[in-house]
Structure 1
């Protein structure tokens, strides 16, 4: 070690470890909720019950429709048990979101990342927790490899290099959040949408989404390294995200005659202009 032959390994501090635990717990609850919802849908499908006419089966009107469906008694008991479990996990998820939002209010890195179109509080917090200290990544390609979004390369000797699928050799949770953010950014007008459309025309929408996730990773590296906001940020949309973060953390609502900066997002003319 004194001669410098042993490489140093970065270890996260206590605050970063806490963020990672909170994000991991939230991810587990969301996956469990999705699994239970799929079980309810499987019960309805097994008894040839058509799809719910409402947008959300587990909303108030959707649950009323679910109670009127003819299913056997044992299946009815199973559905009621699943619904109770969903309500309980919904309370746990709200408590975790409140804790995560409360800590993210004073985090400058989270504030920079939510300026990107398609990146919300959950994605920004998860990325900040996974990255930790951005200085440990010397280049954007290092961060791309850390998330497993770099393509595999097969080459023998001096022969031609063949690029394949992404390696997926990093943090799977952060990679999944980046792909989710890429799908959201692809739907909104802007440079990221134009990039998605250009790649989709050549390679298809699945490869375009992964390419956009890689582009988001490079963008996050530049924003965190240079400590600047996204140049093409939409002010009203960022203000809406910020206000939603404050409300989720438990801050009281502001009622008065003077609208806040997030009100501009409700005006269609200003929203289209952005």
Structure 2
């Protein structure tokens, strides 16, 4: 079996072949589909294995080469650097390192998603980019007001109908008035793009039972559910919930040497940053309502502070998500009326017509009695969790007793 390492750049890729322990330089390959296809048909065989480092176009490279070779492997770039850091660095050396690591069995691989999951990831990324651009425009408008000593907007949303009336009435210089108008027009255009992207995401969520299942958890809406599913892929990839927690970078770092006790530090922050951020935001929303998650949050917050407690709730959510997807069950403390309201909002976002004058499953959420009853059940679950954890204390190292104590002496 021959192993081919590709060090990918924007315009070309440096190719190296490892054949029976001998390194053969294959030269540079153009980073277009035509050049890659020609390289695969003329140089590679169906028994070859190709190794590339994870980059923005690594998946496309794998798609072109896969029909012509035995296997295409995408390596984790950060772990490859930790394993094979060298003082002398060239493209040939990098490609050779990839090939040798794969041949020795020490190459950390990246999971390659299927076409549907990859398309969903792109949609989630597009939505995130549009949201950031809109937030940047708001910041630019606020900076203009601040530069000219304008008072703070009395309305909650500066870009909303009332906020715009107030904004356009401020005595700004003519050039600043034109700049604000341009920012508002750009904000409207981005808002329309956001509705189009969210429509596609909502349609995918309606057809995905796992997305609806995740929305039974408080704090998780359509955006978070679809974003997590796109980042995680099939949950069967993870043998235990701790594997999913580690994949999302919510596991604490550990330092231990010799007989000393392990020291736990901050979370590792490995994996997909956007999925981890969404889970933390969902945690802040989940603890606002009654339930076991709020009791867990308050128990950690008293000892470690609110920010660490929010991250701990995010980790707890990741464990719950693993169990729900693995077992195919809904969240035990789901609020049915609230969940029906989420599903109705999902239908409206997907472009389904509004059924005015008709009482659907989401109508119960409009009844105060129903909402109070659901909150009461959540408060009972929260109280049960508090009673269960009331006597819990932080475990420390056990003190040696008896024979173990004599042995240490």
TM-score normalised by length of structure 1: 0.95
Q: Is 2:170 aligned against 1:69?
A: yes
Query: 2:9 aligns to what?
Result: none
Q: Is 2:294 aligned against 1:193?
A: yes
- 1:198 Cα deviation (Å)? 1.4
The 5 Å alignment of 1:184-263 reads: 184-257=285-358, 259-263=359-363
**Aligned-partner Cα distance in 2 for 1:9–1:118:** 30
SS in 2 for 1:87: helix
Query: 2:43 aligns to what?
Result: none
Q: Is 2:363 aligned against 1:270?
A: no
- 1:252 Cα deviation (Å)? 1.1
**Aligned-partner Cα distance in 2 for 1:164–1:47:** 45
- 1:256 Cα deviation (Å)? 3.8
Partner of residue 20 from structure 1, selected from 121, 127, 137:
121
Return the structure number with greater relative CO, CA threshold 8 A, min gap 6.
1
**Aligned-partner Cα distance in 2 for 1:31–1:25:** 10
The 5 Å alignment of 1:1-274 reads: 10-257=111-358, 259-274=359-374
SS in 2 for 1:187: coil
**Aligned-partner Cα distance in 2 for 1:71–1:255:** 43
**Aligned-partner Cα distance in 1 for 2:110–2:227:** 21
* CA 43–204 in structure 1, closer or farther in 2 if over 3 Å, else same: same
TM-score normalised by length of structure 2: 0.64
- 1:4 Cα deviation (Å)? 11
Query: 2:93 aligns to what?
Result: none
- 1:10 Cα deviation (Å)? 3.2
- 1:6 Cα deviation (Å)? 7.7
- 1:155 Cα deviation (Å)? 2.0
**Aligned-partner Cα distance in 2 for 1:144–1:240:** 29
Greater per-residue helix proportion: 1
Considering only CA atoms, is the larger Rg found in Structure 1 or Structure 2? 2
**Which of structure 1's runs of 4+ aligned residues deviate more than 3 A?**
1-10
More displaced 10-residue stretch of structure 1: 217-226 or 39-48: 39-48
How large is the RMSD of aligned CA atoms in angstroms?
Answer: 1.8
Q: Deviations over 1:17-70 (max 9, x none)?
A: 111000000001111111111111111112111110011110111001001112
**Aligned-partner Cα distance in 2 for 1:89–1:157:** 56
**In the comparison of the two structures, how many residue pairs are matched?**
273
**Aligned-partner Cα distance in 2 for 1:4–1:231:** 46
* CA 130–37 in structure 1, closer or farther in 2 if over 3 Å, else same: same
More displaced 10-residue stretch of structure 1: 112-121 or 200-209: 200-209
SS in 2 for 1:153: strand
